[in-house]
Structure 1
Amino acid sequence: MRRLHLGRILRELREEAGLSLEVAAPALDWSSSKLSRIENGRQGVDVHGVRTMMDIYGVVGPQWDELLDLTRSVSEKGWWRAFGLDDKGYVPLEAEATLVREATTAYVPGLLQIEAYARAVFAIHQRTDAELDNLTAVRRIRQERLTSLEDPLELVAVVDEVVLRRPVGGPAVMRTQLAHLVEAAALDRVTLQVLPMSLGAHPGLSAPFTLLTFGGIDFGDMVYVEHPIGAVHISKEEEVAVARLKFDRLRSLALDPDASVALIQRVAAET
């Protein structure tokens, strides 16, 4: 996300200077394709390169230091690297987000999963014990932000009632998971709503999705959608706007937070 943010700023500075890719790239001793990759966030750039760009684009004032600091932060390794994850998945995106809006019909949202539930989900894909340990550790670190004062994260989750009734990990694990959902729903930064089975078909059945809002980075919202062979990140505003409308529609169909907690408690009593 930081690389994308930096690339967008560098593109805007070039355009403000009235330079095309074809004019700016030779002045930097780069190809037009390299400069385009940097501006699109597909390739990194070092401090020396950014200094040269700012010289050519006529950048002056405090923006120099701000851009150089941002460039240095881009090259820093994320904490998730220590657990075997790269920078291309969901975790680096969420790490920069301040608000997560998630709609799911498959599993309890990761930010609300207990360890035994999470391990049962991860084990579906034939993970080694070491991989399971790393993945559950990453999940714990992510969840800490829901109560963190230094790096807060807000979660608004809409889940299908089927999620509550699917005994992932077995009945005992599920009872503990449901009790945890009740506790998590009481947190100031968590809003949890349930789509009751009595609705029948609803717009959320098509595919789970997550909306990410980046409060500390001027990037706009992003939609993250997983599919059987990977995931897609969507940032085009018109497509993101459709996802926002869909999420708001699901919230309007779902039980309110208090009624949702009451339903979770009823399901727990039946489990």
Structure 2
Amino acid sequence: MAEPNLPARQLGRQLKRMRERLGMTQDEAGAPLRMSTSKLSRIETGYLPPYHDFRALLDRYNVVVSDWDEYIAAYDRAKEKGWWHHYGVGNRGFLPIEAEASKVKVFQFGYIPGLLQTEAYMREVFAAARVQMKPKVLENQVTVRLLRQLRLTDAPILKFHAIIDEHALRRPVLGRAERQEQLQYLVDRARLPNVTVQVVPEDIGAYPGQFGNLIVASFDDSEEPDIAYVEHIFGSVHVEKEAEVSAAKLAFKDFADRALDAEDSIALIERL
């Protein structure tokens, strides 16, 4: 099951507030509707119910019919598919989270982060990740990533902080000319006011970041908790438990402390 999107999570919290204002437990709210406590709990965390179940909940929470339009409009927004579906990309992975986030922190050990890649670099990365990728699928993946990069320059602007291991900058993913283009593109992106790039230099020695990549996403909605996202060779994991997200934030801070500051990082990339 796909993770709930931001509008769905907001709607779930709104339904929860309605129930709590009436002093109902989940069991009391759901029983007359033949709705189990576990189902209502899922709804309140953002998993959308069938439309008629949603209308039944509005009635259960004493919302007058004349006020239903705004809630039904919110329900319809929560059901909308992201623009990436047009390119055959589903809701799995980090893309739906990134689309809703206002701030993203990324640590990458093995390669340059996707939002900072040139088209030539991302083609090599996609080809290496999926040897049997069909040409049409590859083109769609490239197009989606290029469109995602617009968040760095077009509203709603994404605040982006990337920490990259120097190992990723030196990896010979491309030929010399294309590699120079990629490094220059990275410098140009790093100079945007909403982008911070730090490099962990090779002489730092062993550190925990060598075990994998890490992403932390934050949202404008003050009630929306941060989400950590961890990629591995077989897929990825969303992390939403507060203690685990806090640990991810501390790990990112540790990597940032080990890395060169933004100015020295740009200077290093320019030397390369």
TM-score by length of 2: 0.89
In structure 2, C-alpha distance between the alignment counterparts of 1:176 and 1:122, rounded to whole Å: 18
Matched position secondary structure for 2:140? helix
Matched position secondary structure for 2:152? coil
Structure-2 change in CA distance of 1:88 and 1:15 (3 Å) = farther
Among 216, 225, 237, which residue is 1:220 paired with?
A: 225
For 1:71, the aligned partner's letter is Y
Counterpart position of 2:40? 35
Alignment of 1:15 with 2:20, yes or no, is yes
State the aligned residue count: 265
The answer to whether the Cα contact below 8 Å between 1:101 and 1:211 also exists between their aligned partners in 2 is: yes
Spell out, residue by residue over 1:208-263, the C-alpha distance to the aligned partner (whole angstroms, 9 max, x if none).
11000111473110000011211111111111111111111211111111110110
Counterpart position of 1:68? 72
Alignment of 1:120 with 2:124, yes or no, is yes
Q: How does 1:174-253 map to 2 (within 5 A)?
A: 174-216=179-221, 218-253=223-258
Among 88, 107, 124, which residue is 2:92 paired with?
A: 88
For 1:130, the aligned partner's letter is K
Matched position secondary structure for 1:52? helix
Alignment of 1:25 with 2:30, yes or no, is yes
Alignment of 1:6 with 2:11, yes or no, is yes
Spell out, residue by residue over 1:47-67, the C-alpha distance to the aligned partner (whole angstroms, 9 max, x if none).
55434323322457x996654
**Structure 1: 5+ residue stretches without partners:** none
For 2:49, the aligned partner's letter is V
The answer to whether the Cα contact below 8 Å between 1:6 and 1:70 also exists between their aligned partners in 2 is: yes
Residue 266 (structure 1) shift = 1.1
For 1:189, the aligned partner's letter is N
Among 137, 148, 153, which residue is 1:142 paired with?
A: 148
Alignment of 1:171 with 2:176, yes or no, is yes
In structure 2, C-alpha distance between the alignment counterparts of 1:46 and 1:248, rounded to whole Å: 42
Identity of aligned residues (%): 42
Counterpart position of 1:254? 259
Matched position secondary structure for 1:210? strand
The answer to whether the Cα contact below 8 Å between 1:193 and 1:251 also exists between their aligned partners in 2 is: yes
For 2:150, the aligned partner's letter is E
**Structure 2: 5+ residue stretches without partners:** none
In structure 2, C-alpha distance between the alignment counterparts of 1:250 and 1:59, rounded to whole Å: 49
Residue 85 (structure 1) shift = 1.1
Residue 86 (structure 1) shift = 1.1
The answer to whether the Cα contact below 8 Å between 1:96 and 1:216 also exists between their aligned partners in 2 is: no
Spell out, residue by residue over 1:13-49, the C-alpha distance to the aligned partner (whole angstroms, 9 max, x if none).
32343222322223234343432332233x4235554
The answer to whether the Cα contact below 8 Å between 1:47 and 1:72 also exists between their aligned partners in 2 is: no
In structure 2, C-alpha distance between the alignment counterparts of 1:247 and 1:20, rounded to whole Å: 39
Matched position secondary structure for 1:145? helix
Spell out, residue by residue over 1:123-168, the C-alpha distance to the aligned partner (whole angstroms, 9 max, x if none).
01121111111011111111001111x3111100000000100011
TM-score by length of 1: 0.90
Structure-2 change in CA distance of 1:111 and 1:6 (3 Å) = same
Alignment of 1:130 with 2:136, yes or no, is yes
